[in-house]
Amino acid sequence: MKDITILAIETSCDETSVAIVRNGREVLANSISTQIALHEQYGGVVPEIASRMHVEKINLVIEDALKTAKMTLDDIDVIGVTYGPGLVGALLVGVVAAKSIAFAKNKPLVGVHHIEGHISANYITHLDLEPPFLCLVVSGGHTHLVHVKDYTTYEIMGRTRDDAVGEAYDKVARAIGLSYPGGPKIDKLAKEGNKDAIRFPRGMQDGSYDFSFSGVKSSVLNHINGCKMKGEEINEKDIAAAFQDSVVDVLVHKTMNLAKETGIDKIALAGGVAANKGLREAMDEACAASGKKLYYPEFVLCTDNAAMIGCAAYYEYLKGTRAGMNLNAVPNLPLGKR
């Protein structure tokens, strides 16, 4: 079969990323321009600033990716782009750039769901991985337990009813004085703390596969306020360790229960929080104990990047998915429906 080289664009949140991916799994370039330093001062992503920065950076990042891959647009077969979910103004920048290239160069265009991209990051790191498998998608905006039935067919088996895991991490981090994004900082701090010093609640212990993280988040905030009122010192390390323990405990239990119930023996992690060392270790242990095989993407492919979009676009392209010049950003695009 002829090689298919995809130029993929991802601008759904605060990274402007362009990748060049051959046959879905071979990454020739994965350029990422992050806006974290800009948003840090506001404690989170400011949508208007994000869109403006994408506009400023997109052409530079496209050029950088082509240069890294030693290619021109004429070497590209297909254009892939994230068209949802995400911040509408941010998504639009990528969608317009992708449509412009597809139109000017007369190339096929494929719209990709951002979460489909996160799940697909696993295919790049693990060349042997093929569906079906279960995927725990944990990011700043999403917490889903997904049955990946084949490369483009997904069934959501559970989801958060309130905050996403990454969102809870970022809010707790902010409460203990850590800057955005707080997830990696809590992960680091948790290593130095005593997880048994405080007991935070575990949400949704009702046997379902849905999640809730607003309770544990409020409980951390109450604990901090309680300490302040009593004039006690706040132990950030213990809070980080106990919070992470509560979150990881729920994620691991629900995922392993679903794996047991469905009999599926391959489990993957995806999304920014899949970079969490505590979660990786606990999942490693649980999977080893129950004979399941665990997959997670390398660190750079856990958080937002265009390589994962290029991978997902490849499998959508093979299936025949094509977008027209009317492709639009869909901020609340559901997974698995087109």
Residues that bind ligand KG4 in the complex, under the rule CB under 6 A: 13, 139-141, 166, 169-170, 181-184, 187, 271-273, 275-276, 303-304
Nearest approach, Cβ of residue 270 and Zn ion (Å): 9
For ligand KG4, the closer CB: 97 or 164 = 164
Q: Which of Zn ion, ligand KG4, none does residue 187 bind to, with CB < 5 to 8 Å depending on kind?
A: ligand KG4
For Zn ion, the closer CB: 51 or 219 = 51
Nearest approach, Cβ of residue 12 and Zn ion (Å): 7
d(CA 180, CA 173) in angstroms, rounded, equals 8
DSSP of 53-122 = HHHHHHHHHHHHHHHHTT--GGG--EEEEEEESS-HHHHHHHHHHHHHHHHHHT--EEEEEHHHHHHHHH
Q: Which of ligand KG4, Zn ion, none does residue 163 bind to, with CB < 5 to 8 Å depending on kind?
A: none
Q: Which of Zn ion, ligand KG4, none does residue 17 bind to, with CB < 5 to 8 Å depending on kind?
A: none
For ligand KG4, the closer CB: 24 or 184 = 184
Please work out, in degrees rounded to the nearest 5, the angle formed at the alpha carbon of residue 272 by the alpha carbons of 65 and 20: 20
For ligand KG4, the closer CB: 187 or 238 = 187
DSSP of 144-194 = EEEEEEETTEEEEEEEBSS--HHHHHHHHHHHTTPPSS-HHHHHHHHTTS-
H/E element, 26:
strand 26-34
The binding site for Zn ion (CB under 5 A) comprises 139, 304
Nearest approach, Cβ of residue 94 and Zn ion (Å): 13
For ligand KG4, the closer CB: 5 or 141 = 141
For Zn ion, the closer CB: 87 or 287 = 87
For Zn ion, the closer CB: 95 or 176 = 95
CB contact at 8 A, 5 and 71: yes
Q: What is the sign, positive or negative, of the torsion defined by CA atoms of 129, 130, 134, 140? A: positive
Nearest approach, Cβ of residue 137 and ligand KG4 (Å): 9
Q: Which of ligand KG4, Zn ion, none does residue 295 bind to, with CB < 5 to 8 Å depending on kind?
A: none
d(CA 281, CA 210) in angstroms, rounded, equals 22
Nearest approach, Cβ of residue 119 and ligand KG4 (Å): 11
Q: Rounded to whole angstroms, what are the CA distances from 319 to 15, 172, 247, 315, 322?
A: 28, 42, 37, 6, 9
Q: What's phi and psi for 207, nearest 5 deg?
A: 85, -5
Q: Which of ligand KG4, Zn ion, none does residue 85 bind to, with CB < 5 to 8 Å depending on kind?
A: none
Query: For residue 108, which amino acid is it?
Result: P
Q: Which of ligand KG4, Zn ion, none does residue 5 bind to, with CB < 5 to 8 Å depending on kind?
A: none
Nearest approach, Cβ of residue 82 and ligand KG4 (Å): 10
